[in-house]
């Protein structure tokens, strides 16, 4: 036998011995397999990875919470909408009432979770709780969860709370976010032709997160919006008021017309018209109901695109928050532990879905239903059109450091979200929301910073980050908008007036965190064409550099692409000063 043959034969023998021994061992005939001991983590610390560079931090599976109420601990009531972003909170509690073996129980809390879809009732309950606490400090504290972008409008309750001697306070921790679940559903032609939405009507719950998706899409595509839900403007996108997100879907499904007065350029024409819901802004199970009961609508844009728009934000009163700092820290710790479990282990997520089904109380929607639409699925509607339904994500501790800008070089993403939609709602509805509460008056990051310092230098489960391929072009655009960013004449440097527009652009793009950004530079036709081409590129690059320098975390490598067009794509005649000004522009295209 040759030397090479001996080597091959030896390798085969070694392989057979290896796999044979492993087969015997794994059978349990020789050695009994040791049971993997699961532990309930009562802190955010995780084991340090010791393997090679390709290894990842693994969160050990903790015992799932029991079903028997613990019956002791600091009492808290948590009002929630039927919303899949709360999976981590459901697991943390173990049931509608805190159960034995849950992370809430381990941290000394006794929480009652109550479904409440009515935002106005949430506001009223907070005011009542503030008064009850004033009369009896032992009253259980009340937390309510709302869509983060809806907080500016929700903060209108501040006036009532101030009469009760307190104010609104944010719990500086989010249990998760909508990631596709909340969406604008409309006719398929809107995808390639957004202007087809002019003269159409969107049903939604007004001045809340779902309407915000529609409003941002309209703004990003330069579509005029009619804020008066009692009139009809054929040259704008109109809205139809619904009592809640499910009622919005129902308005489209039933198709009952509403009588409106037609307006043109803000003036009453005296003409009466009937309008129906042509589109809907809603969330699961509203989107599922539309697909299964009627169909005909597709996803125009969702929180999968505007991925930072809708974190689950928990609010309470300053009266309770300031008197219960220990409980707030325990709450955050319990939610962080559960967040890691839900994100890392299918068993934990499945249990959280079962708890959600019990809390939400819909007889036709079991745990498997909520689990299915938490993950997000593509299904054919009644007309055979494939639509994306559902989609949410749970947050862990590291995700919250990212959300509130506490990681190194980070940006307070939530501050951008809050300002963006506060400004939009205040502009559209000055009577209902003449102003909104400054975020700094409600958000105190002291507790989160304290926990961050406590675990400094220890391995934490990482936050999810968005990855972008630098050479990956936008295939499907979501929006295109021209921004009036002023540059110094013949230069790529910004004028002082440009700073305000750049700041608005920054907040706008932070909200749409999962979308690629294409910056298109344009000039008028003054001067040499080649020089204009170079100038348009330099100006587009200046915008890119400004955004990336302001936040490397919000604009990682590959997210922004730059295109230069010179004077080749005018939007107005170049024979007037006004036309030239319109042609000197930067267009922002968002897409996948």
For position 347, which CATH number holds?
Answer: 3.40.190.10
Which of 420, 454, 488 finishes a domain?
454
Is residue 353 located within the same domain as residue 383? yes
Q: Please report the pLDDT score of residue 27 as a whole number.
A: 34
Which of 249, 281, 302 finishes a domain?
302
Is residue 359 located within the same domain as residue 447? yes
Q: Please report the pLDDT score of residue 23 as a whole number.
A: 33
> How many Å apart are CA 213 and CA 250, to the nearest integer?
19
Is residue 436 located within the same domain as residue 493? no
Q: Please report the pLDDT score of residue 277 as a whole number.
A: 98
Confirm whether 18 is domain-assigned. Answer: no
Is residue 152 located within the same domain as residue 245? no
Is residue 117 located within the same domain as residue 194? no
> How many Å apart are CA 223 and CA 206, to the nearest integer?
18
Is residue 319 located within the same domain as residue 426? yes
Question: Closest Cα partner for 254 from 204, 201, 294, 206?
Answer: 294
CATH of the domain at 490: 3.30.1330.60
CA distances from 540 to 9, 12, 485, 551 (A): 64, 62, 10, 17
Helix (H, G, I), strand (E, B) or coil at 83: coil
CA atoms within 13 A on the CB side of 479: 26
Q: Please report the pLDDT score of residue 57 as a whole number.
A: 56
> How many Å apart are CA 484 and CA 583, to the nearest integer?
10
Is residue 399 located within the same domain as residue 324? yes
Asked if residues 391 and 179 have their Cβ atoms less than 8 Å apart, the reply is: yes
Confirm whether 436 is domain-assigned. Answer: yes
Domain count across the chain: 3
> How many Å apart are CA 166 and CA 134, to the nearest integer?
9
Confirm whether 200 is domain-assigned. Answer: yes
DSSP code, position 150: G
Confirm whether 220 is domain-assigned. Answer: yes
Asked if residues 302 and 183 have their Cβ atoms less than 8 Å apart, the reply is: yes
Compute the chain's Rg from CA coordinates.
Answer: 27
Which of 250, 268, 302 finishes a domain?
302
Confirm whether 530 is domain-assigned. Answer: yes
* Domain limits for position 422: 74-175+308-454
Asked if residues 397 and 461 have their Cβ atoms less than 8 Å apart, the reply is: yes
Is residue 448 located within the same domain as residue 315? yes
Confirm whether 36 is domain-assigned. Answer: no
Q: Please report the pLDDT score of residue 151 as a whole number.
A: 96
CATH of the domain at 233: 3.40.190
Asked if residues 390 and 374 have their Cβ atoms less than 8 Å apart, the reply is: yes
Is residue 96 located within the same domain as residue 140? yes
Asked if residues 307 and 230 have their Cβ atoms less than 8 Å apart, the reply is: no
DSSP code, position 568: S
| Backbone torsions φ then ψ of 331, nearest 5 degrees | -60, -50
Asked if residues 299 and 185 have their Cβ atoms less than 8 Å apart, the reply is: yes
Confirm whether 39 is domain-assigned. Answer: no
Write out the H or E segment, with its range, that includes residue 177.
strand 176-178
> How many Å apart are CA 441 and CA 318, to the nearest integer?
10
Confirm whether 1 is domain-assigned. Answer: no
> How many Å apart are CA 281 and CA 310, to the nearest integer?
14
Mean pLDDT by 10 residues, the chain (592 residues): 40 36 31 27 31 51 96 97 97 98 98 95 98 97 97 96 98 98 97 96 92 94 94 97 94 97 93 97 95 97 96 98 97 97 97 98 97 96 94 96 91 95 91 93 97 83 83 88 88 91 94 94 93 96 95 91 95 92 92 90
Is residue 91 located within the same domain as residue 161? yes
Is residue 441 located within the same domain as residue 488? no
Is residue 126 located within the same domain as residue 216? no
């Amino acid at each position: 036998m040759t030397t090479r043959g001996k080597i091959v034969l030896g390798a085969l023998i070694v392989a057979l011995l290896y796999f044979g021994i492993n087969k015997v061992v794994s059978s349990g005939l020789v050695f009994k397999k040791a049971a993997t001991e699961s532990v309930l983590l009562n802190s955010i610390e995780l084991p340090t990875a010791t393997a090679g560079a390709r290894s990842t931090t693994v969160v050990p599976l903790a015992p799932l919470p029991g079903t028997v109420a613990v019956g002791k601990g600091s009492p808290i009531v948590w009002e929630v909408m039927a919303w899949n972003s709360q999976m981590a909170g459901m697991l943390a509690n173990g049931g509608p009432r805190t159960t034995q073996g849950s992370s809430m129980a381990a941290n000394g809390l006794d929480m009652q979770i109550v479904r409440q879809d009515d935002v106005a009732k949430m506001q009223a309950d907070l005011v009542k709780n503030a008064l009850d606490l004033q009369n009896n400090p032992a009253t259980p504290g009340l937390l309510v969860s709302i869509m983060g972008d809806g907080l500016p409008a929700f903060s209108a309750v501040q006036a009532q709370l101030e009469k009760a001697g307190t104010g609104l306070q944010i719990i500086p921790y989010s249990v998760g976010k909508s990631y596709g679940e909340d969406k604008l559903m409309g006719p398929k032609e809107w995808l390639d032709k957004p202007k087809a939405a002019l003269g159409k009507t969107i049903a939604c719950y007004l001045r809340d997160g779902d309407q915000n998706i529609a409003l941002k899409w309209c703004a990003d595509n330069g579509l005029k919006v009619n804020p008066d839900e009692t009139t009809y403007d054929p040259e704008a996108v109109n809205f139809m008021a619904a009592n809640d997100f499910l009622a919005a879907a129902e308005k489209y499904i039933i198709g009952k017309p509403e009588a409106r007065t037609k307006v043109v350029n803000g003036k009453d024409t005296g003409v009466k018209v009937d309008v129906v819901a042509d589109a809907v802004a809603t969330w699961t199970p509203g989107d599922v109901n539309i697909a299964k009961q009627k169909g005909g609508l597709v996803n125009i844009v969702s929180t999968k695109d505007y991925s930072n728009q809708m974190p689950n934000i928990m609010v309470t009163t300053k009266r309770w928050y300031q008197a219960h700092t220990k409980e707030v820290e325990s709450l955050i710790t319990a939610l962080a532990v559960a967040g890691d479990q839900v994100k890392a282990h299918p068993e934990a997520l499945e249990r959280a879905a079962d708890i959600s089904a019990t809390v939400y109380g819909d007889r036709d929607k079991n745990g498997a239903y909520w689990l299915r639409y938490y993950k997000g699925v593509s299904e054919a509607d009644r007309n055979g059109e494939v639509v994306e339904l559902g989609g949410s994500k749970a947050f862990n501790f590291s995700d919250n450091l990212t959300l509130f800008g506490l990681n190194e070089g980070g940006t307070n993403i939530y501050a951008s979200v809050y300002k963006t939609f506060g400004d939009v709602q205040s502009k559209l509805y000055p009577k209902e929301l003449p102003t909104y509460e400054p975020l700094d008056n409600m958000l105190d990051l002291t507790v989160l910073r304290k926990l961050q310092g406590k675990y400094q230098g220890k391995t934490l489960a990482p936050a999810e980050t968005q990855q972008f391929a630098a050479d990956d072009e936008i295939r499907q655009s979501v929006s295109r908008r021209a921004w009036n960013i002023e540059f110094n004449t013949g230069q790529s440097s910004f004028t002082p007036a440009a700073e305000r527009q750049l700041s608005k652009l920054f907040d706008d793009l932070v909200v749409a965190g999962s979308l690629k950004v294409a910056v298109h530079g344009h000039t008028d036709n003054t001067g040499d064409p080649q020089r204009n081409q170079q100038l348009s590129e330099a100006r587009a690059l200046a915008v890119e550099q400004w955004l990336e320098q302001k936040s490397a975390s919000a604009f990682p490598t590959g997210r922004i692409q730059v295109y230069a067009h010179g004077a080749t794509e005018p939007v107005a005649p170049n024979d007037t000063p006004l036309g030239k000004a319109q042609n000197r522009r930067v267009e922002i295209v968002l897409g996948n």
